[in-house]
Amino acid sequence: MSLTPSEFERQLQPLLAGWVVDRLPAGWRLSRPGQAVSLSCLGLPVVRAGLLELPRSEVVISFADELPASEAAFVADFLRHFGRGGG
For 2-39, write each residue's pLDDT tens digit.
999 999 999 999 999 999 999 998 899 999 998 999 99
Residues with Cβ < 8 Å from 46, sequence gap 6 or more?
Answer: 53, 54, 55, 56
The pLDDT assigned to 86 comes to 55
- CA distances from residue 7 to 12, 33, 47, 70 in whole angstroms, order as listed: 8, 28, 16, 26
- pTM as predicted: 0.86
The pLDDT assigned to 87 comes to 45
